[in-house]
Chain A
Amino acid sequence: MSKASRDAILGKLRGSAIRDGDEASARAAVKARIKTHARGTIPARSKLDRKGLMNLFAEQATAVDATVARVAAADDVPAAVADYLRGENLPTTLRMAPDPRLDDCSWDKAPMLDIAYGKAEPADQVTVTGAFAGIAETGTLMLISGPESPTTLNFLPDTHIVVLRASEMVGAYEDAWDRLRVTGRMPRNVNFITGPSRSGDIEQTLHLGAHGPRRLHVILVEDDG
Chain B
Amino acid sequence: MSVHEPTSHNFPENARKALGNKTLQRGLASAKVGFRIRRSEAAARLPEFETLRDESRDIKNHTLAHIDLYLEEFEKRVVERGGHVHWAADAAEARETVLTICRAAGAKTVTKGKSMISEEMGLNAFLEENGIEPVETDLGEYIIQLRGETPSHIIAPAFHVLKEEVIETFREKHTHLNPDRVIEEARELQDEARQVLRERFLGADVGITGANFLIAETGSTVIVTNEGNGDLTQTLPRVHIVLASLEKIVPTLEDASTILRLLARSATGQEYSSYTTFSTGPRRGEDLDGPHEFHVVLLDNGRTDLIGTEMQDVLRCIRCGACMNHCPVYGAIGGHAYGWVYPGPIGAVLSPSLIGVEEAHHLPAASTFCGRCEAVCPMRIPLPKLMRHLREREFERGIPPATVRWGLAAWAWLARRPTIYHLAMRLPIRLMALLGGRKGRFRSLPLAGGWTSQRDLPAPQGPTFQAMWNARGGRREASK
What is the interface of chain A, defined by CB distance below 8 A to chain B?
A: 1-3, 5-6, 8-10, 12-14, 16-19, 26-27, 29-30, 33-34, 37-41, 43-45, 60, 63-64, 118-120, 122, 138-140, 145-147, 150-152, 154-156, 172-174, 177, 186-205, 207, 209-213
Contacts and interface: CB of A to CB of B under 8 A. Distances in A.
B138 A201 contact: yes
Contact of A9 (B87, B261, B286): B87
A34 B255 CA distance: 10
Contact of A37 (B71, B202, B253, B277): B253
B208 interface: no
Contacts of A18: 64-67, 307-308
What 8 A-B pairs come out closest when comparing CB atoms?
A: A212-B228, A16-B308, A201-B140, A210-B227, A40-B258, A6-B87, A192-B276, A190-B278
Given A41-B51, A155-B228, A210-B139, A202 B158 contact: yes
Contact of B275 (A3, A27, A33, A191): A191
Contacts of B27: 203
Contact of B47 (A37, A44, A199, A209): A44
Interface of B: 27, 30-31, 34-35, 46-48, 51-52, 55-56, 59, 62, 64-73, 81, 86-89, 93, 96-97, 137-140, 143, 156-159, 161-163, 166, 186-187, 189-191, 193-194, 197-198, 201-202, 216-218, 220, 226-229, 231-232, 235-236, 246, 251-255, 257-258, 260-261, 268, 270-284, 286-290, 298, 300, 304, 307-308
Contacts of B286: 146-147
Nearest to B271: A138
B95 to A, nearest CB: 12
A212 B275 contact: yes
A29 B66 contact: yes
Nearest to A97: B288
Given A13-B67, A154-B231, A198-B226, 13 more contacts: A9-B87, A13-B304, A18-B65, A39-B254, A138-B271, A145-B287, A155-B228, A177-B253, A191-B275, A201-B158, A204-B35, A209-B191, A211-B227
B284 A187 contact: yes
Contact of B308 (A17, A29, A147, A191): A17
Nearest to B291: A188
Nearest to B230: A211
A12 to B, nearest CB: 4
Contacts of B307: 13, 16, 18
Contacts of B65: 18-19
Contacts of B300: 5, 9
Nearest to B69: A30
A157 B7 CA distance: 43
A210 to B, nearest CB: 4
A37 B252 contact: yes
Given A33-B252, A203-B27, A9 B246 contact: yes
A145 B290 contact: yes
Contacts of B279: 188-189
Nearest to A37: B252
Contact of B52 (A9, A40, A174, A192): A40
